[in-house]
């Protein structure tokens, strides 16, 4: 029997134990809202990012990737409205002095921690400010970018001048963003240092609706590729005051996290708000010239925005299963092979038989020509080795035994079914190649 729901604690504990995600600065007691990715976590994260980059940037002719600076001229954030408006309502308890996000409280007058009286809510700007250079005065203030989108808009003119793209086209970026969240919580769901995969897809003003629909479909298809089940994702049409200041239409892709249905990704129609604002504040022309008609105008933009940490958490939650196999309960991550940090594990049946170890090393080297992430494990009995790989989502385990020495075949064990087959090394290589 499979357990369908998994608690956040189970995932947090597996992530720490098996080297996916650790609390940030842990030996100093941590730093709220920060996490460090361990060896398996960083690979899973990169695999998700690479899948996105390959699909939405490299394999498309209408897409341009950039990697802009995190520190930007502060005027860019004045133009975008972040200096004046990127804030959350902050409320402080008059008794225990704890601070909360007013819009997250059931009762905005009583402290949920100590029962004391809460003060008046005030707007708290979430941008992290720092100083650039040796000067200490206000003129040296710069911000860590709160969204990667900013770096895309300020490079619109550069990309147009270098590549002369025809509309519609997009500029994409993966990178860090920083938000001084009042209440970071729920593991990597709400953090202060986050990563985003964002696209600004520039269109003619009259074509935004068709493009919005297209990106809506592409985002759902990407979720399916990551192994996130359709029934766990829900579209929320964001209305009224909940819309960001730049958006005319936004759909939040919500995921059923163990702590409730919460935003995973966003898809926004940002109109020509950003380019117009940057044109006005920078004094640089950011219009697009249509060569065929001679028309000049500011393109409108559709923005698919994906948080990497929230994606990775949804992927882990979707992949985690507990089932019965061979009379034992096991924990298994049924990750799509494309993003699994380890693609296969090779092991000799017995580690004290040099002929088996030598052959297994040879098989591993051959399979590493298909993909380098082929692990080696010769610790404990075979059953234990399988369990360890199941828990980190390795799709295949390959065992080299005495028959291998006789006829060249190996045992291939499938992670999800636990079934074992005898195959040649070439057949195993083809099996791995077909799914990664
Ligand atoms: N450029 C648009 C933008 O940044 P957003 O809805 O504020 O829009 C986009 O953020 C995505 O970034 C979210 O859907 C989420 O995946 C992720 N995200 C935002 N704030 C986050 C935080 N504090 N911690 C983790 N992920 C966050």
pLDDT tens string 212-255: 999 999 999 999 999 999 999 999 999 998 999 899 999 999 99
Please give the torsion angle defined by the CA atoms of residues 125, 191, 236 and 228, in that order, rounded to the nearest 10 degrees.
160
With 50 as the cut, is the pLDDT of residue 352 above it? yes
Q: Is 146 in the pocket of ligand 1 (CB under 6 A)?
A: no
Starting at the edge strand found earlier in the chain, the sheet holding 99-101 runs 99-101, 87-92, 122-125
Q: What is the mean pLDDT of residues 368-372?
A: 98
State the Cα angle at 304 between 303 and 310, rounded to 5°. 135
**Angle (deg, nearest 10), helices 425-435 and 354-367:** 40
Q: Is 149 in the pocket of ligand 1 (CB under 6 A)?
A: yes
Residue 2 has what pLDDT? 46
Q: Of 69, 76, 70, which Cα lies nearest the Cα of 281? A: 76
- Give the ligand 1 atom nearest the CA of 190: 24
Q: Do 286 and 278 contact (CB within 8 A), yes or no?
A: yes
- Give the ligand 1 atom nearest the CA of 265: 14
Q: Of 269, 210, 193, 191, which Cα lies nearest the Cα of 237? A: 269
Q: Of 259, 350, 262, 253, which Cα lies nearest the Cα of 306? A: 253
The residue whose CB lies within 8 Å of the most ligand 1 atoms, and thus the one to mutate among 196, 197, 222, 250, is 196
CA of 195 to the centre of ligand 1 (A): 8
Residue 172 has what pLDDT? 98
Q: Do 317 and 63 contact (CB within 8 A), yes or no?
A: no
Q: What is the mean pLDDT of the chain?
A: 96
The residue whose CB lies within 8 Å of the most ligand 1 atoms, and thus the one to mutate among 307, 313, 315, is 307
Q: What is the mean pLDDT of residues 50-62?
A: 98
Residue 321 has what pLDDT? 97
- 285-340 tens-digit pLDDT: 999 999 989 999 999 999 999 999 999 999 999 999 999 988 889 999 999 999 99
Atom 18 of ligand 1, residue of closest alpha carbon:
307
With 90 as the cut, is the pLDDT of residue 1 above it? no
Atom 2 of ligand 1, residue of closest alpha carbon:
305
Q: Do 345 and 396 contact (CB within 8 A), yes or no?
A: yes
Q: What is the mean pLDDT of residues 372-387?
A: 96
Q: Is 198 in the pocket of ligand 1 (CB under 6 A)?
A: yes
Q: Do 225 and 314 contact (CB within 8 A), yes or no?
A: no
CA of 389 to the centre of ligand 1 (A): 32
Question: Burial of 137 by CB count in 10 Å (0-12 exposed, 13-18 middle, 19+ buried)?
Answer: exposed
Residue 430 has what pLDDT? 98
Q: Is 253 in the pocket of ligand 1 (CB under 6 A)?
A: no
Residue 3 has what pLDDT? 42
What is the rounded CA–CA span in Å between residue 80 and residue 247? 12
Q: DSSP labels for 121-133? A: -EEEE-PPEEE-S
Predicted structure pTM score: 0.96
């Amino acid at each position: 029997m499979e357990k369908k729901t998994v608690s956040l604690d189970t995932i947090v504990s597996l992530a720490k134990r098996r080297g996916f995600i650790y609390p940030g600065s842990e030996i100093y007691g941590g730093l709220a809202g920060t996490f460090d990715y361990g060896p398996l976590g960083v690979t899973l994260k990169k695999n998700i990012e690479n899948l996105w980059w390959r699909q939405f940037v490299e394999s498309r002719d209408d897409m341009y990737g950039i990697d802009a600076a995190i520190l930007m001229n502060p005027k860019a954030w004045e133009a975008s409205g972040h200096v004046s408006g990127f804030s959350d309502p902050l409320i402080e308890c008059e008794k225990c002095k704890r601070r909360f996000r007013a819009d997250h409280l059931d009762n905005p007058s009583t402290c949920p921690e100590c029962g004391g009286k809460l003060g008046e809510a005030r707007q708290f700007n979430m941008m992290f400010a720092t100083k650039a250079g040796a000067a200490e005065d206000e003129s040296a203030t710069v911000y860590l970018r709160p969204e990667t989108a900013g770096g895309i808009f300020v490079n619109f003119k550069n990309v147009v001048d270098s590549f002369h793209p025809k509309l519609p086209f997009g500029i994409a970026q993966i990178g860090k963003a920083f938000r001084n969240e009042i209440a970071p919580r729920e593991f990597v769901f709400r953090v202060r240092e986050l990563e985003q995969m964002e696209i600004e897809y520039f269109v003619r003003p009259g074509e935004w609706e068709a493009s919005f629909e297209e990106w809506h479909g592409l985002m759902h298809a990407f979720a399916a590729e990551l192994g996130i089940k359709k029934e766990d994702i829900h579209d929320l049409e964001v209305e009224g005051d909940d819309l960001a200041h730049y958006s005319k239409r936004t759909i939040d892709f919500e995921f059923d996290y163990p702590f409730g249905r919460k935003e995973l990704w966003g898809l926004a129609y940002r109109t020509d708000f950003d380019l117009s604002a940057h044109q006005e504040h920078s004094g640089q022309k950011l219009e697009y010239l249509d060569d065929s008609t001679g028309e000049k105008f500011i393109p409108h933009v559709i923005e698919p925005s994906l948080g990497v940490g929230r994606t990775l958490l949804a992927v882990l939650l979707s992949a985690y299963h507990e089932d019965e196999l061979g009379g034992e309960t096991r924990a298994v991550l049924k990750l799509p092979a494309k993003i699994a940090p380890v693609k296969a594990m090779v092991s000799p049946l017995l580690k004290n038989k040099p002929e088996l170890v030598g052959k297994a090393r040879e098989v591993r080297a051959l399979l590493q020509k298909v993909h380098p992430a082929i692990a080696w494990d010769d610790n404990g009995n075979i059953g234990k080795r399988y369990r360890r790989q199941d828990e980190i989502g390795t799709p295949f385990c390959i065992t080299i035994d005495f028959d291998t020495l006789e006829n060249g075949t190996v045992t291939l064990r499938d992670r999800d079914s636990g079934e074992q087959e005898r195959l040649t090394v070439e057949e195993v290589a083809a099996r791995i190649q077909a799914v990664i």
